């Protein structure tokens, strides 16, 4: 019930079902953004079956609620399906509490800005593998893109060296993520709207399909986790362990005294990283290739900058980053133009008031990253791809380096320093070696780029598109091949 103040404006609820019809959306980012225009408010309120939702469409409000009031805006919505799919160990979905704090601390130790530097050799190797794969079979871009993000994640977490995207462990993990992810949205299973259904026996509930899918997702996830852990242990026994989060933990002398809880937390962090780092990075890499094919003028400008700073004597290295401001602006603009996670749910742990509106405890507070990244008051012509927007009138990169696509407050992406390294290095290396353009059909006519995206669970996925990926010159071909020969 409303306490001392009205709820924020929003669509009018229907009796019993509330706003359930307003909440069923194909593209939640733009659709929630429309509410702000319609109801003339940066924050909007809706309710369905007793679940309250506050949509936050403006960056200033997100800063006030998620950052300044982080103490009470850092929980996650309690979705019953999470338990059924066995995802209680997923750090990104955990309630705000002591176990989350333990996992988050482990993540911070391993993924902060300084620690992220330790992953540079692995990022370098995986990106160079990616370049070689693009050189050999450019038409298989989608598969090479997956290979880059997944092989990097399983390498830093378990020391596992993937040979192909068809690796059975990876197929199992991905199938599990897809199944479970599709069950977690409010409208995916009626269990999410009526939590008590989760406690009714399978045969009684009449919900065989989603409960069976949940059990399958859990089984596949456990299979992947156990196999990866066994792999890490065996590689240590055989003296062949590649340094990683799990192998370092198992080998540490103090691990024998580590509590069961810490051991479980390490495993949960490893799997969460797999889940959190792969689809998001794959989506960014696809968007980057799509935008480069669509905007040859941006590509040429970035290549001119790379040529001027690095010359054609070597491939880019991490230390080149501060000397390449235009490439930095491309990174910011790619991350702004499309966000892997358009709308991110936090939850409120105490009753609160904001701008005269009452927000009840337990409200799901949706940070609409899409709306903030496309706010025309901040980014004029928000749908245009313009890295130039990040330069001030003196031609210097401006101070707006806040990447909203990593989320907010205490739940902000804990892997953002690692993600930024992978994405930047992939962009720099690709642009130095390849020209990306529109593909041609058998008659030599350019094929239009497919600009479509689709939503899978919380993630926006780029639909596949055809493009041409050609080496800029023999020199770069030689560099790529030479890198591979030295790493074998
Ligand atoms: C470009 C790639 C990535 C994007 C766009 C991205 C985006 C996000 C977003 C939007 C969140 C939720 C933030 C919020 O709740 O406000 C998140 C959480 C998280 N991310 Fe990332 N991420 C990326 C890569 C990574 C990588 C490489 C890692 C690990 C090395 C990672 C680990 C995590 C974890 C563990 C969480 C959960 C944090 C928590 O709930 O406390 N992410 N990420």
Q: How far is Cα of residue 149 from the mean position of the Cα atoms in its chain? A: 11
Please check the confidence at residue 342 and state whether its pLDDT lies above 90: yes
- Give nearest CA residue, ligand 1 atom 30: 415
Residue 29 has what pLDDT? Answer: 92
Residue 203 has what pLDDT? Answer: 46
Please check the confidence at residue 110 and state whether its pLDDT lies above 70: yes
Please check the confidence at residue 196 and state whether its pLDDT lies above 60: no
Mean predicted confidence (pLDDT) in 295-318: 96
Residue 327 has what pLDDT? Answer: 98
Q: State whether the beta carbon of 276 lies less than 6 angstroms from ligand 1.
A: yes
Average pLDDT, the chain: 89
Residue 263 has what pLDDT? Answer: 87
Which two tokens mark 283?
């989506």
Report the percentage of the chain scoring pLDDT > 90. 65
Mean predicted confidence (pLDDT) in 408-426: 97
CA distance 76 to 99: 14
479: nearest Cα among 307, 309, 312: 312
- Give nearest CA residue, ligand 1 atom 22: 413
Q: What is the pLDDT of residues 260-278, one digit of tens each?
A: 888 899 999 999 998 889 9
Residue 458 has what pLDDT? Answer: 80
CA distance 140 to 133: 8
Using a 10 angstrom Cβ sphere, with 0-12 exposed, 13-18 middle and 19 or more buried, the burial of residue 162 is middle
Q: State whether the beta carbon of 406 lies less than 6 angstroms from ligand 1.
A: yes
- Give nearest CA residue, ligand 1 atom 15: 411
Q: State whether the beta carbon of 272 lies less than 6 angstroms from ligand 1.
A: yes
Q: What is the pLDDT of residues 116-131, one digit of tens each?
A: 999 999 999 999 999 9
Please check the confidence at residue 213 and state whether its pLDDT lies above 90: no
421: nearest Cα among 118, 111, 120, 108: 120
Contact 128, 484 (CB under 8 A): yes
ipTM attached to this prediction:
0.99
Please check the confidence at residue 197 and state whether its pLDDT lies above 50: no
Please report, in range form, the residues annotated as the binding site for heme.
413
Spell out the domain ranges in the chain.
1-88+342-373, 112-139+262-341+386-488
For 112-139+262-341+386-488, CATH number out of 2.60.40.10, 1.10.10.10, 1.10.630.10, 1.10.3720.10 equals: 1.10.630.10
Residue 274 has what pLDDT? Answer: 87
Residue 208 has what pLDDT? Answer: 53
Residue 355 gets the label, from left (phi > 0), alpha (psi -120 to 50) or beta, of: left
Mean predicted confidence (pLDDT) in 65-87: 89
Q: State whether the beta carbon of 29 lies less than 6 angstroms from ligand 1.
A: no
Q: Place 250 in a pLDDT band, splitting at 50, 70 and 90.
A: confident
Residue 17 has what pLDDT? Answer: 66
Ligand 1: distance of its center to the CA of 416 in Å? Answer: 7
- Give nearest CA residue, ligand 1 atom 28: 415
This prediction's pTM = 0.93
Ligand 1: distance of its center to the CA of 266 in Å? Answer: 17
For 1-88+342-373, CATH number out of 3.20.20.30, 3.40.50.150, 3.40.50.11900, 3.30.43.20 equals: 3.30.43.20
Residue 181 has what pLDDT? Answer: 72
Please report, in range form, the residues annotated as the binding site.
413
Q: For residue 420, which atom of ligand 1 is closest to its CA?
A: 1
Q: Place 86 in a pLDDT band, splitting at 50, 70 and 90.
A: confident
Q: For residue 345, which atom of ligand 1 is closest to its CA?
A: 15
Mean predicted confidence (pLDDT) in 329-350: 96
Q: State whether the beta carbon of 277 lies less than 6 angstroms from ligand 1.
A: yes
Q: State whether the beta carbon of 269 lies less than 6 angstroms from ligand 1.
A: no
- Give nearest CA residue, ligand 1 atom 29: 415
CA distance 427 to 411: 27
- Give nearest CA residue, ligand 1 atom 31: 415
Give phi and psi for 40, each to the nearest 5: 55, 45
Residue 112 has what pLDDT? Answer: 94
Residue 186 has what pLDDT? Answer: 58
Residue 392 gets the label, from left (phi > 0), alpha (psi -120 to 50) or beta, of: beta
Identify which of 112, 415, 423, 426 to mutate to test ligand 1's pocket (most ligand atoms within 8 A of the CB): 415
């Amino acid at each position: 019930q409303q306490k001392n103040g009205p709820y924020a404006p929003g669509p009018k609820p229907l009796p019993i079902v509330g706003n359930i019809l307003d909440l069923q959306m194909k593209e939640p980012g733009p659709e929630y953004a429309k509410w702000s225009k319609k109801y003339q408010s940066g924050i909007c309120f809706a309710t369905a079956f007793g679940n309250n939702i506050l949509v936050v469409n403006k960056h200033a409000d997100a800063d006030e609620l998620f950052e300044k009031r982080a103490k009470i805006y850092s929980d996650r919505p309690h979705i019953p399906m999470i338990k059924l799919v066995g995802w209680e160990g997923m750090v990104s979905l955990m309630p705000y509490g002591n176990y989350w704090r333990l996992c988050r601390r482990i993540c911070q130790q391993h993924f902060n800005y300084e620690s992220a530097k330790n992953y540079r050799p692995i990022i370098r190797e995986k990106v160079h593998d990616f370049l070689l794969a693009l050189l050999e079979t450019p038409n298989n871009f989608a598969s090479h893109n997956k290979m880059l993000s997944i092989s990097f994640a399983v390498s830093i977490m378990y020391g596992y060296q993937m040979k192909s995207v068809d690796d059975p462990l990876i197929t199992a993990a991905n199938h599990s993520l897809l199944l479970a992810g599709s069950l977690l949205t409010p409208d995916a299973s009626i269990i999410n709207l009526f939590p008590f259904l989760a406690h009714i026996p399978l045969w009684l509930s009449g919900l065989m399909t989603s409960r069976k899918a949940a059990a399958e997702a859990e089984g596949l996830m456990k299979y992947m986790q156990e196999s990866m852990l066994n792999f890490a242990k065996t590689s240590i026994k055989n003296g062949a362990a590649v340094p990683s989060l799990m192998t370092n933990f198992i080998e540490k002398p103090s691990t024998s005294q580590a509590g069961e809880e810490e051991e479980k937390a390490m495993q949960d962090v490893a799997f969460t990283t797999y889940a959190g780092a792969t689809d998001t990075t794959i989506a960014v890499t696809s968007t980057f290739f799509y935008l480069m094919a669509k905007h040859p003028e941006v590509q040429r400008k970035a290549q001119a900058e790379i040529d001027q700073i690095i010359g054609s004597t070597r491939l880019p290295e991490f230390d080149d980053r501060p000397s390449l401001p235009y490439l930095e602006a491309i990174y910011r603009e790619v991350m702004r133009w499309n966000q892997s996670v358009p709308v991110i749910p936090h939850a409120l742990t105490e009753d609160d008031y904001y701008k005269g509106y009452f927000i009840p405890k337990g409200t799901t507070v949706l940070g609409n990253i899409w709306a903030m990244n496309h706010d025309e008051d901040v980014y004029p012509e928000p749908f245009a791809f313009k890295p130039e927007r990040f330069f001030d009138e003196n031609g210097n990169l401006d101070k707006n380096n806040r990447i909203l696509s990593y989320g907010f407050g205490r739940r902000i992406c804990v892997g953002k320093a690692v993600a930024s390294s992978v994405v930047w290095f992939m962009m720099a290396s690709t642009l130095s070696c390849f020209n990306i353009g529109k593909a041609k059909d058998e008659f030599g006519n350019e094929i239009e780029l497919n600009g479509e995206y689709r939503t899978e669970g919380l993630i926006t996925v780029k639909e596949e598109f055809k493009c041409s990926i050609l080496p800029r010159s023999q020199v770069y071909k030689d560099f790529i091949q030479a890198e591979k020969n030295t790493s074998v």
